[in-house]
């Protein structure tokens, strides 16, 4: 038996003005054939899980294609066409296959009506290419905006069960084992989805905390039915202006469509009946800092409006400006700012200069910080992570990095490439000890938690402005469903 592996992963924030082009994929990940095995084998990604489970099931893995780039704006039409051409020519070149394990993100969004639901487009095209009965099993990020096209294209769809995403490998293993059972004719995977007209606030999506935790416990209870093979809670990605935006539920059974729909509906009803709990609390910047200063440090302030993992700029300064207003506070902040890195590198370690830092990509995330700083150190910006962290990657590269410090005690890591703070290596690789700071600002909502919890005594999610603001009523949608809670009552 030969099973192909195909993956296209991008979280498309359609409210970002800068589009995602092919060069962005090329500079991140554009892997073909054995390049996939070389990069992912033994890792923590769902592709790692695919490879491991296929080997354990004595099925030949046929790595075909993997493309990914960090979350950013809508994928250009030209890029969509280039990616589609590569995917389908690579599948054709792979030769005879007995099944496909596919890993779309679920929130890929391209330009134009046909590519707006990009995952639905390429999965339905894949189904048309291989035929109605060809085994296709799919894994998705729970931040997918699930579409009926995606569901109809696959025999089974399995979302990661954790947010922060630390079970990607387990999800891939589950999919690979299910493929093995399907190919041995032990099960007939049959799935159904329920689409509830509700957008779950990003702040309320932590799977190990209420309000999500009781819902996941209900999902676990439903798995005890002997015919239920899998179920998934698709939380949704609110920063994509697409008609599929919102939450959904998937159940996969052994040849029991009625049960699959019934259990998906039961989960949907739970969310509907508890919908007010999923709106979010939204603490503003001033209150968050006052709380943090009254607590024992380190305290991690999660900058939700400049959530780099949701596609934001990574150079937001809103929290930093409020800290500077408070005077001397020992705090840490990372800013994407290639220009400032170059200035610092040219001046040299140990020197002082006046820098205008951050706030340069757009005007939505706070103005630049203009301060006198001392250049503490320069670093290559490459580091490894051994522990399982959000996103499943183990190698990171934020480019040339300059560590600078203001007179007020604010330490700023200036990076050449946008960083997503899922590894504490962002600090420790630059010889910074997290315990030396009272406040650590992390640009995320849930993804930094596994890496920062061992060092921070408290976490506060901060409702900052920006392209990933937790207050989704700040955004103007043209394509979303109506009515959709909390925009309209349902």
Tens digits of per-residue pLDDT, 456-483?
999 999 999 999 999 999 999 999 999 9
353 plus 453 within the same structural domain: yes
441 beta partners: 301
Q: Within a domain: residue 485?
A: no
Quick check: 345 pLDDT over 90? yes
User: In this structure, are 153 and 190 located in the same domain?
Assistant: yes
- Structure pTM? 0.94
Cα dihedral sign, 28-33-35-40: positive
Measured distance CA(479)–CA(490) in Å, rounded? 18
Question: In this structure, are 289 and 435 located in the same domain?
Answer: yes
> Is 486 within the bounds of a domain?
no
78, 134: one domain = yes
Taking the C-alpha atoms of residue 255 and residue 328, their distance in angstroms, rounded to an integer, is 64
pLDDT band for position 394 (cuts 50, 70, 90): confident
Q: Strand, coil or helix: what is 487?
A: coil
Could you tell me if 402 and 424 are in contact, meaning their C-beta atoms sit under 8 angstroms apart?
no
Task: Examine the fold and report which residue of 278, 302, 324 is the final residue of a domain before the chain moves on.
Answer: 278
| Residue 488 resides in a domain | no
State the average pLDDT over residues 178-191: 98
Whole-angstrom distance, CA of residue 185 vs CA of residue 188? 7
Is 483 among the domain residues?
Answer: no
Residue 156 in this model has a pLDDT that exceeds 90: yes
**Is residue 476 assigned to a domain?**
no
Using only the alpha carbons of the chain, give its radius of gyration.
22
What pLDDT is stored for residue 327 in this prediction?
86
Domain span at residue 27?
2-278
**Backbone φ and ψ of 90, nearest 5°:** -70, -40
In terms of domains, do 317 and 237 share one? Answer: no
Question: For residue 393, what pLDDT is reported?
Answer: 87
pLDDT at res. 78: 98
Distance CA 217, CA 270 (A): 11
Q: Are 332 and 432 in contact (CB under 8 A)?
A: yes
State the total domains in the chain. Answer: 2
| 267 plus 150 within the same structural domain | yes
DSSP 148-173: HHHHHH-SEEEE-S-SS---HHHHHH
Q: Is 133 exposed, middle or buried (0-12, 13-18, 19+ CB in 10 A)?
A: exposed
pLDDT digit string (tens) for 402-437?
999 999 999 999 999 999 999 999 999 999 999 999
The tens digit of pLDDT for each residue in 286-312 reads 999 999 999 999 999 999 999 999 999
């Amino acid at each position: 038996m030969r099973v192909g592996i195909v993956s296209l992963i991008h979280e498309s924030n359609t409210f970002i003005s800068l589009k995602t082009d092919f060069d962005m994929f090329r500079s991140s990940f554009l892997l073909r054939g054995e390049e996939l095995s070389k990069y992912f084998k033994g890792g923590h990604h769902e592709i790692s899980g695919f490879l491991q489970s296929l080997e354990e099931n004595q099925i030949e893995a046929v790595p075909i294609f993997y493309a990914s780039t960090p979350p950013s704006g809508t994928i250009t039409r030209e890029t969509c066409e280039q990616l589609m051409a590569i995917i389908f020519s690579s599948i054709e070149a792979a030769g005879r296959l007995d099944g496909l394990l596919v890993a779309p993100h679920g929130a890929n969004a391209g330009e134009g009506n046909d590519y707006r639901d990009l995952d639905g487009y390429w999965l339905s095209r894949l189904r048309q290419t291989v035929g109605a009965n060809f085994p296709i099993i799919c894994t998705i990020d729970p931040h997918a905006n699930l579409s009926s096209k995606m569901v109809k294209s696959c025999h089974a769809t399995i979302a990661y069960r954790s947010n922060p995403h630390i079970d990607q490998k387990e999800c891939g293993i589950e999919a690979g084992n299910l493929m093995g059972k399907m190919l041995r004719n032990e099960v007939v995977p049959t799935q159904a989805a329920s689409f509830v007209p509700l957008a779950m606030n990003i702040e309320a999506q932590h799977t190990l905390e209420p309000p999500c935790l009781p819902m996941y416990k209900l999902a676990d209870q439903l798995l005890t039915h002997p015919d239920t093979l899998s179920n998934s809670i698709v939380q949704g990605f609110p920063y994509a202006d697409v008609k599929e935006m919102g939450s959904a539920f998937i159940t996969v059974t052994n040849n029991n469509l009625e049960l699959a729909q019934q259990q998906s509906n039961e989960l949907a009803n739970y969310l509907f009946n508890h919908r007010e709990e999923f709106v979010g609390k939204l603490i503003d910047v001033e209150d968050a800092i006052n709380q943090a200063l009254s607590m024992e440090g380190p305290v991690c302030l999660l900058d939700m409006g400049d959530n780099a993992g949701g596609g934001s700029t990574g150079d937001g300064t809103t929290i930093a400006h409020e800290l500077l207003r408070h005077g001397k506070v020992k705090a840490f902040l990372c800013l994407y700012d290639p220009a400032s890195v170059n200035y610092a590198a040219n001046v040299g370690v140990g020197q002082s200069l006046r820098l205008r830092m951050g706030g340069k990509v757009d005007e939505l995330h706070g103005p630049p910080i203009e301060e006198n700083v001392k250049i503490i150190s320069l670093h290559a910006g490459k580091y490894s992570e051994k522990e399982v962290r959000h996103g499943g990657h183990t190698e990171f590269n934020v480019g040339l990095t300059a560590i600078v410090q203001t007179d007020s005690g604010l330490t700023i890591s200036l990076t050449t490439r946008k960083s997503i703070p899922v590894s504490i290596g962002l600090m420790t690789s630059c010889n910074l000890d997290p315990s030396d700071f009272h406040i650590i600002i992390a640009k995320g909502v849930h993804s930094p938690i596994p890496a920062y919890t061992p060092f921070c005594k408290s976490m506060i999610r901060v409702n900052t402005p920006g392209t990933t603001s937790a207050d989704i009523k700040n955004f103007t949608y043209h394509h979303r469903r109506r009515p959709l809670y909390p925009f309209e009552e349902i």
